[in-house]
Amino acid sequence: MPSPIHDLCRRAPGPAALALCLLLPLPLSAGDAGRLEVVADSGRRIASLPMPEGEAWCLEWNHSVAGFPVLDCYRHREGLMVLERSHLPDFAAGLDHIPGRGRQVSDGEGGYWIEGLDESVPGNRYHLRVGSPEVNHRLLHEGRRLSLSDRAAGERVTIHLRTSAATP
């Protein structure tokens, strides 16, 4: 059964409460099916979001040359962090579809989605060097955007889906 604080954080009534909840080190319990955590190499917690089975989120950033937003979208699937799809608004430097890796689908606005990637992330975690405010790495979840760059620009962080099925 989730704690009252955990329950409040799931409902996050406003920006101040959301900011506080993102920093709380809420441990996994028997009733907690998953948590997405962003932790700096120093051990400082950047974010901690409830991420139950089936829930999805995206990492969004501004392309360093063209400046438009790029998305990598994940889902908590059966205890695993799975990259499902990516959005690329242009064929700018370094952004292209690799044949045999998902399928390219028009977004109707000049860009495209790479759908059907369905790639499990090894160890349910990966490292990221958080970009400057211009790059603005941000997490998108349940209609909210959380800027990692505002909290950790230039730092190396680990983005980790913690589940009862995954290693600590």
Expressed as residue numbers, the domain containing 114 is: 4-162
Whether 13 is in a domain gets the answer yes
Whether 167 is in a domain gets the answer no
The candidate with the shortest Cα–Cα distance to 139, out of 53, 35, 54, is 35
pTM over 0.85: no
Whether 144 is in a domain gets the answer yes
Average pLDDT for residues 82-97, to the nearest whole number? 75
Q: Are 128 and 137 in contact (CB under 8 A)?
A: yes
Query: pLDDT class for 155, splitting at 50, 70, 90?
Result: very high
Mean pLDDT, the chain, as a whole number? 81
Provide the token pair at 52: 């139950």
Whether 64 is in a domain gets the answer yes
**Would you state the pLDDT for residue 91?**
64
Q: pLDDT tens, 22-71?
A: 444 444 444 457 999 999 999 999 999 999 999 999 999 998 777 789 99
**How would you write 43-98 as a 3-class SS string?**
CCEEEEEECCCCCEEEEEEECCCCCCEEEEEEEEECCEEEEEEEEECCCCCCCCCC
**Count of the separate structural domains present in the chain:** 1
Q: pLDDT tens, 118-133?
A: 999 999 999 999 999 9
- Sequence letter at residue 103: R
